Structure 1
Amino acid sequence: MGVTALDKPAGRWCTHFKKAQGCRIYDDRPTDCRVFNCLWLLTEALDPDWKPSVCGFVLHSEAGGARLVVECDPARPHDWRRAPYQAALELWAQQGQEILIMTGPRGLRLLPDGGTRPVRRAS
């Protein structure tokens, strides 16, 4: 995801992230980072398979929870299609939840009828 305070564009690793260590500026991270919570951390219904390091994406909501955004790791852009993720995401879309699958500036909107529509991230 993009982080305005760090001039970090969506779809790129943060320069402060170090593999196997995490955020190197965690104690001094900007407000943008402090207020963000991955839905995996907030939702008991999501089991350990949905942990971002396992599934290859981060879940967050927008528009007061009306939109679920799946932010894919650019190195693993299709991992959301693996079981159990794709089936669950498609079911949620069928139930009326807006679902966006994003990798950098481009993505897909999952449609209630099982189809998809290309989308671009607003700049």
Structure 2
Amino acid sequence: MSVAEDIVDGRSCGTCSLCCILPEIDVFDKPANSVCRHCQPGRGCLAYDERPATCRDFFCHWMTDADMNEAWEPARCHMMVYTQGPQITVLVDPAHPHIWKTEPYASQLQQWAAESAPSGGYLIVYVGDEVTVVGAKAG
């Protein structure tokens, strides 16, 4: 999560609505992988001016991380990346369940997992009900 001041120059949500579809949004009793009742996919939020802080304060990493190249634009890669404490979360559009296992994504996810591990971080990929911890070694 981030704040509006952290948005990379030139980036915008455009027609992407993945943050209104992929995550669970408790304040709206919205389950994961369903369209929020306030969302018009490809057009935006019908309650934009009155949206709760949960929505107002959220920006995916592509919006706030200048190191993420155009391949990571959520509408293009069908994934949304964000951080919660030590956890890097990757939500994958269930209509594209294997995209995260392809390049350039797979190697970048492995790199992020490896970089976060020394400080106790980890990377989790959610595809529908499937959960994968990236970089985890069998014990």
Displacement of 1:105 in angstroms is: 4.1
Cα RMSD of the aligned pairs, angstroms, is 1.7
Quote how far apart the aligned CAs of 1:107 are.
1.0
Q: TM-score, normalised by structure 2?
A: 0.72
CA distance in 2, matches of 1:17, 1:74: 18
Contact 1:12–1:104, Cα closer than 8 Å, also in 2: no
Length, aligned pairs only: 112
Quick one: distance in 2 between partners of 1:71 and 1:12? 13
Unpaired segments of 5 or more residues in structure 2? 1-22
For residues 15-38 of structure 1, the C-alpha deviation after alignment (integer angstroms, 9 at most, x for no partner) is 222122122221111111111110
2:131 is matched with which residue: 107, 113, 116?
Answer: 107
Runs of 4+ in structure 1 over 3 Å off: none
Per-residue deviation, 1:71 = 0.9
Higher mean C-alpha displacement, 71-80 vs 84-93? 71-80
Does 1:82 pair with 2:106? no
For residues 64-99 of structure 1, give each alpha carbon's deviation from its aligned partner in whole angstroms, at most 9, with x where no partner exists. Answer: xx2110011122222112211111101222332411
Q: 2:54 aligns with which of 32, 49, 53?
A: 32
Structure 1 unaligned segments of length 5 or more: list them: 116-123
TM-score by length of 1: 0.81
Q: Relative contact order, CA 8 A, sep 6+: which one is greater?
A: 2
Q: Which has the higher strand share?
A: 1
Is this contact kept in 2: 1:61–1:67, CA < 8 A?
yes
